[in-house]
């Protein structure tokens, strides 16, 4: 019989199958490694995008804070007394209106769209995460980010309502303030102006509209939303209506009519002109949502750093600083508009944690912060460790 070759053939087939199996295992392993690297790369891209959003947010808030300081200074420069300079008062009020418009535009054109983009990107990534191979702490990070996004959504919705209400009220308030400045300027120069009908009507021209049934923009909406504000508004309208007629009658020599109107003006002036509005119902959910978003954001960043989840450099000071800003605002709502009295960031955090505005595990590099506050004012500053930008917030009641 010739040599038997079947056993060799069987042995070679086994080697081939084993080799094929090893190759498949290697390819599967390589595929798993590649998929894991891809998943982590996507995770890192997402984390970097979050940091980018955070930097933009701080930039917008600092610009808004700067505008608020200018607004405060210009409004304080207005003298709502007969001693005020009419031209100067008009100039300052014009600046107040301009700054207010800039603040509104920055919020509606920059801040709200930024938050909307962030919420959308978070939602899109979280919907993709089931198709990515992410590990335990990465998943935990994303769960916290989901909480940040939920809080940011609440803040965005609350802020949008506040902005629209502020715009509605500001337009009316600026008109009243402008007319008040005109009236006080007239009174200051009363002896000269009241001797001429033309001079009187010219000087009081802005008040003439109240004699024709004038309605403010959004007046009907204000009547529904804020009845007490509307009542004060109606009193102003009646007061300036009768005041205009009284001085025109007097300047025209109709002293009987002027005297009768004088009695009406005196009676009307005893009514309520308090145009204060309770913003707490709108501010509270906004402040709380902003605080929650930044506290959770810092928690996510701390988790990322402590577990070395990647190479993205996050601005933890930025998140901590903004959390302190919103905690201060929320604290003031609960304490008759008084800010916490603290000489440094340590004492402020102690007040906030004891008051349950901040969680007990809220931690960051406190030595890099400057913080001081009194009943009516607080100041917070730090240097952003990523951008190198000096962030400074000053809020005055």
Buried b (16+ CB within 10 A) or exposed e, 356-365: ebbeeebebe
Choose among 259, 217, 199, 207: nearest CA to 238. 207
CA distance 238 to 240: 6
pLDDT computed for residue 376 by the predictor: 87
CA distance 107 to 88: 29
pLDDT computed for residue 100 by the predictor: 96
pLDDT tens for each residue of the chain, 397 residues long: 445 544 555 556 666 556 555 555 655 455 567 878 888 899 999 999 999 999 999 999 999 999 999 999 999 999 999 999 999 999 999 999 999 999 999 999 999 999 999 999 999 999 998 899 998 999 999 999 999 999 999 999 999 999 999 999 999 999 999 999 999 999 999 999 999 999 999 999 999 999 999 999 999 999 999 999 999 999 999 999 999 999 999 999 999 999 999 999 999 999 999 999 999 999 999 999 999 999 999 999 999 999 999 999 999 999 999 999 999 999 999 998 899 888 889 999 999 999 999 999 898 888 889 988 888 888 999 999 999 989 999 887 7
pLDDT computed for residue 1 by the predictor: 44
Phi, psi of 148, rounded to the nearest 5 degrees = -60, -45
Continuous segment of H or E residues that includes residue 190:
helix 190-193
The answer to whether residues 317 and 281 touch, using CB atoms and an 8 Å cutoff, is no
The answer to whether residues 159 and 289 touch, using CB atoms and an 8 Å cutoff, is no
DSSP letter, residue 212: G
First to last CA, the chain: 110
pLDDT computed for residue 116 by the predictor: 97
3-class secondary structure for 239-287?
HHHHHHHHHHHHHCCCHHHHHHHHHHHHHHCCCCCCCCCCCHHHHHHHH
Neighbours of 38 (CB within 10 A): 12
Q: Does the predicted model carry a pTM greater than 0.75?
A: yes
Residue 196's region, left for phi above 0, alpha for psi from -120 to 50, else beta, is beta
Distance of CA 303 to CAs 156, 252, 254, 352, 389, Å?
25, 78, 80, 22, 24
pLDDT computed for residue 30 by the predictor: 53
The answer to whether residues 334 and 291 touch, using CB atoms and an 8 Å cutoff, is no
DSSP letter, residue 367: G
The answer to whether residues 316 and 301 touch, using CB atoms and an 8 Å cutoff, is yes
Continuous segment of H or E residues that includes residue 235:
helix 227-251
Bridge partners of 396, per DSSP, are 377
């Amino acid at each position: 019989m010739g040599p038997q070759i079947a056993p060799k053939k069987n042995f070679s087939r086994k080697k081939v199958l084993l080799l094929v199996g090893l190759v498949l295992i290697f390819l599967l392993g390589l595929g798993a490694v590649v998929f894991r690297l891809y998943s982590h790369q996507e995770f890192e891209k997402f984390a970097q995008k979050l940091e980018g959003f955070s930097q933009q947010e701080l930039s917008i808030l600092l610009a808004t804070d700067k505008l608020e300081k200018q607004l405060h200074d210009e409004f304080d420069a207005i003298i709502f007394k007969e001693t005020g300079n009419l031209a100067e008062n008009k100039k300052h009020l014009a600046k107040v209106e301009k700054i207010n418009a800039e603040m509104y535009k920055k919020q509606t054109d920059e801040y709200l769209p930024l938050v909307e983009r962030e919420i959308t990107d978070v939602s899109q990534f979280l919907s993709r995460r089931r198709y990515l191979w992410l590990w335990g702490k990465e998943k935990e990070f994303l769960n916290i980010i989901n909480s940040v996004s939920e809080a940011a959504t609440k803040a965005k919705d609350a802020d949008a309502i506040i902005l629209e209400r502020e715009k509605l009220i500001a337009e009316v308030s600026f008109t009243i303030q402008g007319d008040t400045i005109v009236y006080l300027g007239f009174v200051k120069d009363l002896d000269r102006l009241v001797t001429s009908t033309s001079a009187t009507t010219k000087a009081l021209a802005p008040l003439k509209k109240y004699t024709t049934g004038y309605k403010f923009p959004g007046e009907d909406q204000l009547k529904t939303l804020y009845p007490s504000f509307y009542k004060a508004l109606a009193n102003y309208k009646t007061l300036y209506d009768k005041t205009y007629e009284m001085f025109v009658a007097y300047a025209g020599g109709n002293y009987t009519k002027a005297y009768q109107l004088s009695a009406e003006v005196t009676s009307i002036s005893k009514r309520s002109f308090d145009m204060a509005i309770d913003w707490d119902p709108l501010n509270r959910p906004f402040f709380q949502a902003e605080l929650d978003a930044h506290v959770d954001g810092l928690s996510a960043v701390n988790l990322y750093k402590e577990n070395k989840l990647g190479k993205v450099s996050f601005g933890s000071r930025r998140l901590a600083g903004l959390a302190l800003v919103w905690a201060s605002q929320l604290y003031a709502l609960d304490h008759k508009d008084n800010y916490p009295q603290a000489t440094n960031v340590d004492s402020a955090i102690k007040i906030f944690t004891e008051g349950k505005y901040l969680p007990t595990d809220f931690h960051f590099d406190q030595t890099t912060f400057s913080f001081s506050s009194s009943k009516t004012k607080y100041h917070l500053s730090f240097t952003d460790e990523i951008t190198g930008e000096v962030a400074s917030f000053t809020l005055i009641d």
